[in-house]
């Protein structure tokens, strides 16, 4: 199905007290919950809700545009290594953690305002590309934890903002997801980040999302996400294409001045893809499927699947989400040998439709879902391929976005002909 305005990095609301097991802790398959944080890049079709003042209050969250958290990634990596080697945090890490604790105290002022630095602990999570994520824990009550997200820089030398996301629109989404019982409490946003609740669990791996017990949990949660999510006053229009066209504005045609490696320029030339033309054609083809527009997650990849062993559910998809999720089985390295087989897809789709329809799906419904999801893998390839081109142009993150883009767009061209002609089963 087409993606309505996507959500962001919130986690599934849990009725349990929060506890994040360390890496390596076992993943029981009974009495557990799987949580899925939401997508990082909200659609610009979302109504703006943030106020222009530096400090603003809402009924349930705080906006502090006067607060900014700036961390040099390379220096942070060096200082973390030095801290680990010495067994003591360096002055740089101490200063970083103090700033994060100040943010935590600001957004949880009712119960944390009086806590000193020695009563709060910071832990950095690893693995994300677009954002940094830190956990802040109260040592007075270790069950009390929040997550602090720091987004990458989106400011050019001339001062213009080239953010690939509508950060103001996140406020609507966070609130709606929390209200629907699909995400944690949202405490608010600051200039280049936001603060929200923490949930129990461990990240799933590429290998684990292939396993039936986890696939079934993810499918069930995605169905709940699609069935329950509504955002008032937001137009139901496919947001994925709106975002892509926004990103295309950042990358003038054939401008590879920011690409350093000659072999990448040659590979791009050999690919010979006109992404604007492909967008026009793909939008028309997908529109002909007449799939419903739903609220989508848009980034259901293994690292965004948080498994809680105590309640046995996933916390966070329709055609877009399904096709994109299958692509995410290949990981950041894009190992296409790990793309799920038809058998694995049909298992997943069966569990998804059972939860969404609240009955057993018919064979025709399963076959149509299979075709729809696979056609939408083309949207996933084009979406993330163009996202990679835009990130390569504007991002300060140390990652080869251009190479990632090349690999996604190459897979798009390889699979396009077969998927365009894949017939939709009829009754």
- Select from 177, 198, 219 the last residue of a domain: 198
pLDDT band at 300 (very low <50, low <70, confident <90, very high): low
Angle between helices 401-420 and 262-271 (to 10 degrees): 20
Indicate if 88 and 211 belong to the same structural domain: no
pLDDT score of 315: 40
Query: Tens digits of per-residue pLDDT, 42-97?
Result: 332 332 333 334 444 455 789 899 999 998 888 999 999 999 999 999 999 999 99
pLDDT band at 34 (very low <50, low <70, confident <90, very high): very low
Instruction: Confirm if 20 and 200 have CB atoms less than 8 A apart.
Output: yes
Question: Hey, which bits of 99-165 come out as E strands?
Answer: 120-125, 131-138, 145-151
Average pLDDT over the chain reads 77
Tokens of 310: 């105590």
Query: Tens digits of per-residue pLDDT, 266-276?
Result: 999 999 999 99
What Å distances lie between residue 33 and 29, 44, 189, 334, CA to CA? Answer: 9, 32, 27, 27
Count of structural domains within the chain: 2
Residue 125 C-beta-side C-alpha neighbours within 13 Å: 25
Instruction: Confirm if 302 and 328 have CB atoms less than 8 A apart.
Output: yes
Indicate if 322 and 335 belong to the same structural domain: yes
Domain of residue 154 covers 58-198
Instruction: Confirm if 119 and 140 have CB atoms less than 8 A apart.
Output: yes
pLDDT score of 120: 98
Is pLDDT above 90 for 304? Answer: no
pLDDT band at 233 (very low <50, low <70, confident <90, very high): low
Indicate if 184 and 294 belong to the same structural domain: no
Is pLDDT above 90 for 117? Answer: yes
What Å distances lie between residue 365 and 216, 368, 426, CA to CA? Answer: 18, 5, 10
CA 304 distance to own-chain centroid: 7
Indicate if 172 and 250 belong to the same structural domain: no
Here the CATH number for the domain that contains residue 115 is 3.30.200.20
Indicate if 148 and 219 belong to the same structural domain: no
Q: What is the Cα–Cα distance from 261 to 393, expressed in whole angstroms?
A: 14
In a domain, 15, yes or no: no
pLDDT score of 241: 80
Indicate if 272 and 366 belong to the same structural domain: yes
Indicate if 220 and 131 belong to the same structural domain: no
Query: Tens digits of per-residue pLDDT, 350-391?
Result: 999 999 899 999 999 999 999 999 999 999 999 999 999 988
In a domain, 41, yes or no: no
In a domain, 29, yes or no: no
pLDDT score of 324: 83
Indicate if 137 and 218 belong to the same structural domain: no
Concatenated DSSP letters of 6-66: ---S-----SSPP--PPTT----SSS-EEE----S---TTSPP---SSSEEE-SS-EEETT
Residue 120, beta-bridge partner list? 138
């Amino acid at each position: 199905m087409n993606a309505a305005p996507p959500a962001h990095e919130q986690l599934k609301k849990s009725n349990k007290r929060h506890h994040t097991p360390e890496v390596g802790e076992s993943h029981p398959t009974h009495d557990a919950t799987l949580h899925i944080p939401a997508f990082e890049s909200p659609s610009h079709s979302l109504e703006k809700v943030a106020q222009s003042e530096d400090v603003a209050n809402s009924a349930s969250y705080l906006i502090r545009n006067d607060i900014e958290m700036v961390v040099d990634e390379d220096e942070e990596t060096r200082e973390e290594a030095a801290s680990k080697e010495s067994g003591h945090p360096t002055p740089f890490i101490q200063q970083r953690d103090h700033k994060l604790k100040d943010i935590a105290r600001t957004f949880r002022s009712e119960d944390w305002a009086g806590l000193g630095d020695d009563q709060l602990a910071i832990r950095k999570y690893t693995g994300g590309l677009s954002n940094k994520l830190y956990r802040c824990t109260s040592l007075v009550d270790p069950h009390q934890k929040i997550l602090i997200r720091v987004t990458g820089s989106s400011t050019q030398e001339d001062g213009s903002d080239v953010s690939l996301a509508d950060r103001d629109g996140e406020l609507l989404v966070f609130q709606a997801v929390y209200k629907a019982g699909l995400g944690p409490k949202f405490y608010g946003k600051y200039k280049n980040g936001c603060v929200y609740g923490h949930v129990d669990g461990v990240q799933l791996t590429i290998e684990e999302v292939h396993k039936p017990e986890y696939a079934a949990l993810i499918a069930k949660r995605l169905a709940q996400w699609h069935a329950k999510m509504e955002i008032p006053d937001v137009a139901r229009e496919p947001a994925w294409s709106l975002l892509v066209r926004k990103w295309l504005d950042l990358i003038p045609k054939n401008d590879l001045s920011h690409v350093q490696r000659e072999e990448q320029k040659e590979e791009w030339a050999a690919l010979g893809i006109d992404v604007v033309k492909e967008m026009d054609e793909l939008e028309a083809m997908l529109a002909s499927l007449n799939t419903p527009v739903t609220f989508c997650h848009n980034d259901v990849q293994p690292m965004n699947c948080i498994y809680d062993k105590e309640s046995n559910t996933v916390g966070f998809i329709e055609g877009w989400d399904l096709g994109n999720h299958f692509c995410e089985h290949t990981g950041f390295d894009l190992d296409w040998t790990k793309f799920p087989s038809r058998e694995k897809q049909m298992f997943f789709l069966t569990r998804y439709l059972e939860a969404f329809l609240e009955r057993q799906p018919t064979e025709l419904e399963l076959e149509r879902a299979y075709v729809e999801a696979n056609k939408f893998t083309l949207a996933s390839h084009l979406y993330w391929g163009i996202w990679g081109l835009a990130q390569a142009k504007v991002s300060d993150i140390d990652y080869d976005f251009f190479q990632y883009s090349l690999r996604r767009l190459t897979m798009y061209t390889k699979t396009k002909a077969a998927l365009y002609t894949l017939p939709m089963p009829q009754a």
